[in-house]
Amino acid sequence: MIYLDNNATTRLDPRVLEAMMPFLTDQFANAASTHPFGVTAHEAVKNARQQVANTLNCEVHEIVFASGATEAINLAIKGVAESYAHKGRHIVTVQTEHKAVLDVCHYLETRGFEVTYLPVQPDGLLDLETVRAAIRPDTILVSVMLVNNETGVIQPVQAIAALAHTAGALFMTDATQAVGKMPIDVDTLGVDLLTFSAHKFCGPKGIGGLFVRQRRPNKVKLEALLHGGGHERGLRSGTLNVPGIVGLGKALDLCRQEMPVETQHIASLRDHLETALLTIPGTRVNGNREHRLYNTTNIYFEHCDSDAMIMGLEGMAVSNGSACTAASIDPSHVLLALALNETEAFSCLRFSLGRFNNEADVQRAIDGVKNAVEGLRALV
């Protein structure tokens, strides 16, 4: 299997599994227990929290572990909505956000909140003047994802955060596709809330987290979603997933150590794949090619249904959009926001490369896609 769908999920690094194994077998204690057995688990969680803090350049008490980015996003947005409703009931986000953000915002609209969904330019980037114009005195939160999961486009979150803060609003970023893949400094970016998920950077599924700024000037107060035990400083009750947390910390340590070499390797593979596929007539890249993550390319193939292409690519895993909406019969909302029509949006493939891909994978992918395109166009 040639796996080129790393934005959906990644293979668990064997070194991460090795770090997790003791806590899946002999060291199975509850991290909240006070006996020596529990203290060992607690220390492992404490170490992982430090590993996350080292990656994000934040304090350890600013990290809240959750089951993944979706839960973290729910905690962040709903938590802000409840805590700051007395200041205002307006939220600003973007049409190209992940459904985890959009669906939470739609829910809040049924609870009396007003949400502005910003359009993007045809290359997927936000216009800063559009952002500035959308922020109002009653805006309590601006939420803009750092890296788009379908196109890899990187938004100018540092500048957007500054606009939010100038107006007295908090700024959140869904960094699920960024953490572990690019350097992240929450202070440099100016973010107040940031979400991430371990399975996007060769860690285990079922674990992720939320950065919640606790240092002034923007100390964030959140209302909890889950109650019952007061775990994670009262923000996320429930017995901690110690093996998952250990795996998350180990995965981030590996990313931080290997990022310079890995970035160059994956970027080279992506560029080779993209350059070769763009020699096919009737193709183009969706999204800005300068401001995007090095591992992703989203390509339009004229007169080629993406589902038919995926079916024809035997032994190869690629996608036509977000894994979270793969069962949907609707076209990608991200691509529609980039001014593609429905037919065009149904004719695109996302290729997302990762740590375990190599040149042979890319060459097989090039050959496979060219054959699939030729075969489909012959039927037109």
The owner of tokens 């293979």 is: 11
- Which residue in 159, 162, 164, 172 sits closest to 213, CA to CA? 172
Residue of 105, 255, 324, 348 marked active site? 324
Apex 287 CA angle, 284 and 289, nearest 5 = 85
Contact call for residues 237 and 231 (beta carbons, < 8 A)? yes
Shortest CA distance to 200 belongs to which of 70, 56, 326? Answer: 70
- Mapped onto helix, strand or coil, the DSSP state of residue 302 is coil
270 and 351 in contact (C-beta within 8 Å)?
Answer: yes
Task: Clarify whether 255 is annotated catalytic.
Answer: no
99-109 and 69-84 helices, crossing angle to 10°: 30
CA distance 344 to 135: 32
Give bridge partners of residue 309 from the DSSP assignment.
none
Token pair for 140: 């309590």
Could you give the residue numbers annotated as active site? 324
